[in-house]
Structure 1
Amino acid sequence: MRRAAPLLILLAVAACDDQSMRLQKRYETETPSLLWPDGSSARPLPAGTVAHGDLERERALAQAPAVTPELLARGRERFGIFCSPCHGLSGYGDGMIVSRGFPAPPSYHSARLRAATAQHFVDVITNGYGVMYSYAARVSPEDRWAIAAYIRALQLSQGARVADVPNLSERLP
């Protein structure tokens, strides 16, 4: 039995055909195919296919959350990370990339963007606009709303007038 065991192991190892796994028939990416009528090896997704997480993302983008101090703090943090390199810390479109020769983005304090809805900012973050590419893969839907809320706070802070704040003289030391 001791002499038969090494022989059986040798036969079992010799029977392994590593080549058949590497040399199997398959289509490379974007290779034409004679198998399908359209001639393409890449098959379209079946109708009604929904990627994992798409429904939750759509629900999160559909309704704006309530504006809270926590939401604004999160928006300020995310704005500083993702938006300020182009838009600047105050939202005037004077970020670091502009000083490096890239085109300046529009100021959030222009009349057009002051009149824009929060949904507009969320859509731009999601889909991109002009030379700005989409941040959908980088910024979660919840953070997009937080950034939009913070942009509104920036707009209010930069356009505030003393007359808009009641009893200001009582609050100043």
Structure 2
Amino acid sequence: MDRQPKFKPQSESRFFADGNTDRPNPANVVARGRSVEADARFLGEDDHMYRGYSGALGLPDNTQWLRGFPEDVDVSQTFLQRGQERFTIFCAPCHGALGDGNGITKQYGMGATPTFHSDRIRDMAEGEIFNTITNGRNTMFGYADKIQPADRWAIVAYVRALQRAQQGTVDDVPAANRSELGL
């Protein structure tokens, strides 16, 4: 196996008339296991779903962070539970279970971790939070290689739920459900 004849990329070949080993793909070829319809998803061409913004990359003045969630995302109880699960695994060690910046890493001398309950983060667009999870910010490293895009959106939804729970008032509870609060 160590010494077998083989063609190396971009080397010469007397076998083919053009003298090259590299061959062009046949017309209409599609990679195995993929369809033409899946190309956009495979390549992550939907800026809202896969990047959290629309506009030119690297040009903040032209970037419009997505407010709300992409059309493909259905925010449901199951989705929030998935967000809580992913948050607990990836985010809570630093940001704390309540998103208050008091995770276990603080006890070991890690620098200040932001609370999600500050006005700065509460006012951030959902797309910007998604982008921070994806690419990181300051001392936080990016999680693009560890968390799938749909799960990053689930985490964003769960962060919004944490924020709402922290800032909620009795007026936020529908009148029909206020009796359940025992007030």
Q: When the two structures are superposed, what TM-score results if normalisation uses the length of structure 1?
A: 0.65
Q: Given the alignment, which residue of 162, 175, 183 partners 1:154?
A: 162
Q: Given the alignment, which residue of 158, 173, 178 partners 1:165?
A: 173
8 A contact 2:83–2:156 mirrored in 1: yes
Change over 3 Å in CA distance of 1:149–1:169 after alignment to 2: closer
Matched with 2:133 is 125
For the residues of structure 2 that align with 1:84 and 1:104, how far apart are their CA atoms?
14
Query: Which residues of structure 1 form unaligned runs of 5+?
Result: 1-15, 22-51
Taking the TM superposition and a 5 Å limit, the aligned residue runs for 1:82-93 are: 82-93=90-101
Q: Given the alignment, which residue of 64, 67, 74 partners 1:66?
A: 74
Which is greater in Rg? 1
8 A contact 2:83–2:154 mirrored in 1: yes
Query: Helix, strand or coil for the counterpart of 2:88?
Result: helix
For the residues of structure 2 that align with 1:58 and 1:159, how far apart are their CA atoms?
36
Q: When the two structures are superposed, what TM-score results if normalisation uses the length of structure 2?
A: 0.62
Matched with 1:111 is 119
For the residues of structure 1 that align with 2:45 and 2:101, how far apart are their CA atoms?
29
Q: Quick one: percent identity of the two aligned structures?
A: 41
- Higher alpha-carbon deviation: 128-137 or 156-165: 156-165
State the superposition RMSD in angstroms.
Answer: 2.6
Query: Helix, strand or coil for the counterpart of 2:141?
Result: coil
Change over 3 Å in CA distance of 1:58–1:91 after alignment to 2: farther
Matched with 1:75 is 83
Taking the TM superposition and a 5 Å limit, the aligned residue runs for 1:18-29 are: none
For the residues of structure 1 that align with 2:39 and 2:119, how far apart are their CA atoms?
34
Change over 3 Å in CA distance of 1:106–1:166 after alignment to 2: same
Number of equivalences: 128
Query: Which residues of structure 2 form unaligned runs of 5+?
Result: 5-33, 53-69
Query: Helix, strand or coil for the counterpart of 1:70?
Result: helix
Change over 3 Å in CA distance of 1:97–1:58 after alignment to 2: farther
Matched with 2:55 is none
For the residues of structure 1 that align with 2:78 and 2:178, how far apart are their CA atoms?
28
Shift of 1:104: 2.1
Matched with 1:141 is 149
Specify the code of the residue in structure 2 equivalent to 1:119: G
Answer 1 or 2: which has greater strand percent. 2
Change over 3 Å in CA distance of 1:77–1:54 after alignment to 2: farther
8 A contact 1:86–1:104 mirrored in 2: no
Shift of 1:58: 4.2
For the residues of structure 1 that align with 2:91 and 2:127, how far apart are their CA atoms?
17
